[in-house]
């Protein structure tokens, strides 16, 4: 199983803790140490599972808006996006549980024209205000169809580290990685009002593969 580059520090710390706690349990508890080691092993394996990198064939897209993450669609609504668009947009929000793949992908193809990191709170990721109050990043892409699409990584109650690798001027390719969020979190995508929304609330998405909307060409 291929692991994400963001896993190195977490897995190193987890390995040391697992070995130390396991050794202490064996030394003091003997045969009863299995009561400690078994759940520790489950947690240790879940950490590896969290940082997995699935093998996916990413196609080229022009009008299609691709699911940026694995997760569940929890919101589709018209909102005011005041950071970059400064007007009305359709917000599509996808919630990621700790068991989902947490690679963040470009939802559209085009050119990165804006990026910004915002420190903030750690409200639960499905909270509506998390989009504007939590720790988050905002990226805007001018698409090949001449639309401006904004998307936002949002840290949740558990997530405490967001990374994004893109810079202004970069070429964005729909479905390809631009960042990562550690543990439970959310991604919001803000689309033009005339966008055809294909997904619905409750849909389970696979990042880089599923089409969630279609821009007008």
CA 50 to CA 45: how far, in whole Å? 9
Beta bridge partners of 72: 95, 204
What order do you get walking across the sheet with 162-164 strand by strand?
103-105, 177-181, 162-164
CA 41 to CA 64: how far, in whole Å? 42
CA 43 to CA 215: how far, in whole Å? 42
Beta bridge partners of 99: none
| Residues counted in the chain | 217
- HEC sequence for 42-69: HHHHHHHHHCECCCCCCCCCCCEEECCC
Cα–Cα separations (whole angstroms), residue 76 to 72, 126, 212: 12, 13, 11
Examine the residue annotation and report whether 131 is marked as an active-site residue of this protein: no
Cα–Cα separations (whole angstroms), residue 113 to 26, 82, 88, 138, 149: 56, 16, 19, 11, 10
Catalytic residue, candidates 7, 93, 130, 185: 185
CA 176 to CA 66: how far, in whole Å? 10
Residues identified as active-site: 185
């Amino acid at each position: 199983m291929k692991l994400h580059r963001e896993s190195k520090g977490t897995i190193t710390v987890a390995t040391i803790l697992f070995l130390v706690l396991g050794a202490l349990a064996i030394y003091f508890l003997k045969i009863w140490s299995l009561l400690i080691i078994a759940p520790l092993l489950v947690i240790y394996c879940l950490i590896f599972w969290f940082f997995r990198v699935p093998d996916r064939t990413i196609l080229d897209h022009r009008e299609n808006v691709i699911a940026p993450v694995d997760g569940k669609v929890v919101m589709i609504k018209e909102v005011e996006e005041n950071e970059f668009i400064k007007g009305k947009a359709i917000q599509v929000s996808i919630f990621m549980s700790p068991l989902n793949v947490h690679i963040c992908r470009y939802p559209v193809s085009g050119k990165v024209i804006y990026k910004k990191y915002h420190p903030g709170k750690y409200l639960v990721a499905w909270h509506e205000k998390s989009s504007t109050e939590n720790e988050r990043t905002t990226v805007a892409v001018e698409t090949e169809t001449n639309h401006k699409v904004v998307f936002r990584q949002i840290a949740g109650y558990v997530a405490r580290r967001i990374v994004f690798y893109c810079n202004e001027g970069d070429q964005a390719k729909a479905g390809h990685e631009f960042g990562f969020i550690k543990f439970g979190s959310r991604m919001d995508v803000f689309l033009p009002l005339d966008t055809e929304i294909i997904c619905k609330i409750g849909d389970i998405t696979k990042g880089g593969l599923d089409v969630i909307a279609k821009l007008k060409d």
